[in-house]
Amino acid sequence: MTAKVWVGKLLRALVGLVLLLLGVAGFFTFAAGFAEYPVVPPREGGAEWVRGAFHVHTTRSDGRGTVEEVAAAAKAAGLRFVVLTDHNDFGPREPAFVGGVLMVPGVEISTKQGHLVALGVQRPMEGMRAWMDGGEALAAVERAGGMGVLAHPVQQRNPWRHEEAARRARGFELYSADTFFRDALRSPFSRLLPALGASWGQPVHGVMTLVSPRPEPAERLLELEEERPRVALCSHDAHGLPAYEDVFRALALYLPPEDGRPETLPEDAREAAEVVVRGLASGRAVCAFRALGEPEGFALEGLADEERREAHVGDVLTVRLPPYKGDAVRVEVRGAGRLRPDGVTVELVEEGGVQVEAWVRGPGRFFGTEWKPWVVPSPVRVLPRRQEEVITPGLP
């Protein structure tokens, strides 16, 4: 058989494969037309929480969009703020409103042991450079008045590998849109192809098709929570692929109201950025996969110390959920807690950390449904049982 015949056969095989893949993708495009969002309808009469995006890249590093284009996408998606975190962008940046959206400066630092996001830096980070030791980078961020957030800490491609710094860092990216995308690359037929096909029919459904949580991030977070309270954040890690607006419509971080704080951000950009950073760093903020529904009304009640997000063994926490119908929502508990049969109260049974989330039965890759995370708060640290509750044998 001549080389020309072999080439012809190979080309026909490749064309056949492409047509097959397009046909399969077309099936998911068709199915996407039947996916209905949101699953949980908006709450009537509730105050709208300030929402935004965390960990976003622009053309200042490896993002596809300019700051102005990112701001336009955020505004179209109904976001109020965006935390920009371009790689190793150490130049001084001021917060600013761009097209009505607050752009909060941050930076993602490439270290020898992984990536670290610096949030809320008040002063220049002296001696900061790319590919420095992870512990030294975290120390520089803290000296500058900022909070270090471990970026995609258990991602297979680029995990965090500095144990001592991991135990010092206050922030932890629990869910990452970019990590979902990279995980899908390793499952091209079962996850990536369905997402691509769905994106042609309904872009937000394409993003949500990528959402496939693994247990490792929560396990690592709860391990670290045993030592000190941690702030769990959801990361867009947006680069423009998938499109900024689609990722922003699928996922957001929310600042629930607190006493003395108005529902709208201050008009002064510096003051507004302080509100956002304080809210994210305090652990009050919640993440929501907003394509499934808005989180207004969600609360975790019964904490012994709400500011530090601490409770004790034997305490019972109550999960207050936004109104919903049927069996579309469930409470998911990991770590030192046990969900009671009523489905909304959590008994704390041992010391350590507990992660309590609301999950939703949302549209699946095909015509069925899949359980996906919906509202994600920071974890609760569970301390020893209160002293007055400890019963000493032999004493009345």
If you search the block for the tokens 């600042």, which residue do you land on?
Answer: 255
User: How large is the average pLDDT for residues 162-168?
Assistant: 97
pLDDT of residue 51: 96
Residue 149 · residue 234 · CB < 8 Å = no
Whether the per-residue pLDDT at 328 is higher than 90: the answer is yes
Of the two residues 264 and 220, the one the predictor is more confident about is: 220
Write down all domains in the chain, each with its CATH number in brackets.
Answer: 50-383 (3.20.20.140)
Percent over 90 (pLDDT), the chain: 71
Write out pLDDT tens, residues 39-82. 999 877 667 899 999 999 999 999 999 999 999 999 999 999 99
131: left (phi over 0), alpha (psi -120 to 50) or beta: left
pLDDT of residue 45: 66
Distance CA 351, CA 354 (A): 9
- pTM, whole model, 2 decimals? 0.90
Q: Which residues 6+ apart lie within 8 Å of 140 measured at CB?
A: 125, 126, 127, 128
Report DSSP state, residue 157. S
Whether the per-residue pLDDT at 131 is higher than 50: the answer is yes
pLDDT of residue 32: 67
Structure tokens at 333: 């508990």
Whether the per-residue pLDDT at 24 is higher than 60: the answer is no
Whether the per-residue pLDDT at 260 is higher than 60: the answer is no
Lowest mean pLDDT among 28-32, 300-304, 306-310: 28-32
Residue 194 · residue 212 · CB < 8 Å = no
Of the two residues 216 and 197, the one the predictor is more confident about is: 216
User: How large is the average pLDDT for residues 77-94?
Assistant: 94
Structure tokens at 390: 């400890």
Name the average pLDDT for the chain.
89
Write out pLDDT tens, residues 331-366. 999 999 999 999 999 999 999 999 999 999 999 887
pLDDT of residue 389: 57
Count of Cβ atoms closer than 10 Å to residue 65 Cβ:
20
pLDDT of residue 220: 97
pLDDT of residue 257: 83
Of the two residues 194 and 2, the one the predictor is more confident about is: 194
pLDDT of residue 44: 74
pLDDT of residue 360: 97
Count of Cβ atoms closer than 10 Å to residue 26 Cβ:
13
pLDDT of residue 42: 84
Lowest mean pLDDT among 8-22, 63-77, 116-130: 8-22
